[in-house]
Amino acid sequence: MSFATEIVAPDGYKVQLNTGLFINNEFVAGANTIDTTNPATGKVITAVQAAEIEQVNQAVDAAEKAFHGGWRFSKPQVRSRLMHKLADLVQRDAEDLAHLETLDNGKPLRDARNDIHGVVNQLRYFAGFCDKVYGKVIETSARLSYTVHEPIGVCAGIIPWNVPMLMLSWKIAPAVATANTVVIKTSELTPLSALKIAALVKEAGFPPGVINIITGYGPKAGEALARHMKVSKIAFTGSTATGRSIMKAAAESNLKKVTLELGGKSPNIIFDDVEDLDQVVFWARAGIFRNAGQICSAGSRIYVQEGIYDKFIQKFKALTSSGKVGDPFQKDTFQGPQISQNQFNRVMNYIELGKKEGATCYHGGKRVGTTGYFIEPTIFTDVREDMRIVKEEIFGPVVVVSKFKDVDDVVAKANDTTYGLAAAVFTSNIRRAITVSNALEAGSVWVNCYNVITENSPFGGYKQSGIGRENGEYALANYTQIKAVKMNIAKL
């Protein structure tokens, strides 16, 4: 059965795509189908095959067979070559992937192209680690002791809808580099770019079963992966509530290893000694309104020192209002739509809640147009720390801006959250930058920039923002298990 189809983007660009489940290097039928929608119009793009328990079992069985059938002992040079080949193919088909991502997710085409650079960099970075996973020799009396870092086995990854391609590479690259096999479940909202990459996996020459990519609903396919007895490790990126459910399922099944990259309510702190306020405003806008605010590390709480607050808020509003909200395929668009009607409703409900709580809607707060899921970038001022729009993750183009007096005041406010994914500090004082960075309870702290995330630097959260780290050498620990070997070399 063929699931090949042609996808035509609004700008006329055409992409050939297979919409089946990618299991054992073949596109196969699912239990049913799911319609995927263009969030800029609300219209269906195409239908994709959807997995339930039976198809999840097939994917896991294929991954297990590949792991024990030789992949776990594959030569590092072979794994590295395959990963570099996949990176080459992603580069070759960059326009196909970017158009699929923009059509399915709604982010501006410019940003989708930038995400592809991140995918390629991720694959190449971890390809370089294939032959650099080392153990240790430990000095013991009359005995030889050493450690070996071995692959875990079948690793599952559940990826979100906000940056689908990039999250796919974050889950695949370190797992495959360390000789594991993988089953990836995409979001039902944004499956298209992953299905295109699935075809490239086969073209690159990966053996059947090493990389499997399926689409399905969380309560069915996601739950089945989290509880599967043959899955030895699961990685999830998404909401804190779903992360709890995955931990529970892992604990109640086979105690599989879990890494979680979850929500955030990240503080962006701006001191009055900054030298170039226009640059600060540029970073502040990008930090919250890129990707329509649908970024887990978005700088959704901005704290500005009293002396420059008035000047900052005026400049921030002016720059924010200058950005075009609209068709993501247009070159001058800064902000695209929210991902779905449900997410649109969620964000609009928070905006109304903020008004009811007594905050001032300083800018935005309204729907843009009559089709699609577009919302004006929204700025709230005159907020209190106990307001829900200050405490809760909105995951949309909504920011709260507050004043602060001094370091102690702002650090206390910044850390008064259940989250701890990221934070930023803008200052010209290097001592203050280091002091405040050290005091912030967050997995990433950016100084005089925002959301600078790279493949060679760890990313993950404190508190309820997650467990474990992705990216960088630190990520390898999530996909290996350590064996200690002790040999008696004394005469018996």
Outline where DSSP puts E strands in 180-313. Answer: 181-186, 211-215, 233-237, 257-261, 267-270, 301-305
Per-residue model confidence as pLDDT tens digits over 336-381: 999 999 999 999 999 999 999 999 999 999 999 999 999 999 999 9
The pLDDT value given to residue 378: 98
Calculate ∠ Cα 290-197-194, nearest 5°: 55
Q: In the prediction, which pLDDT does 142 show?
A: 66
Is residue 2 predicted with pLDDT exceeding 90?
no
Instruction: Please check whether residue 358 is in contact with residue 370, taking contact to mean a CB–CB distance below 8 angstroms.
Output: no
What is the model's pLDDT at position 12?
A: 97
Q: What is the pLDDT of residue 143?
A: 81
Residue 240: how many CB atoms within 10 A of its CB? 19
Taking residues 13-34, what's their average pLDDT? 98
Q: For 254, which DSSP code?
A: T
Q: Residue 15 pLDDT > 70, yes or no?
A: yes
Alpha carbon 313 to chain centroid distance?
30
Quote the Cα angle for 472-478-484, to 5°. 115
Q: At what angle do helices 94-105 and 192-204 cross, to 10 degrees?
A: 160
Distance CA 313, CA 323 (A): 16
What are the backbone dihedrals phi and psi of residue 156, each rounded to the nearest 5 degrees, phi first?
-100, 150
Residue 379 Cα to chain centre, angstroms: 25
Distance from C-alpha of 142 to C-alpha of 153, rounded to nearest angstrom: 34
- Residue 194 dihedral angles phi and psi, to the nearest 5°: -65, -35
Annotated active-site positions, please?
261, 296
Which is nearest to 15 in space by CA: 26, 7, 23? 7
Q: Where are the alpha helices (DSSP H) in 360-484?
A: 388-391, 407-415, 430-439
Q: Would you state the pLDDT for residue 492?
A: 65
For the cut 80, the answer to whether the pLDDT of residue 230 exceeds it is yes
Check: CB of residue 80 under 8 Å from CB of residue 128: yes
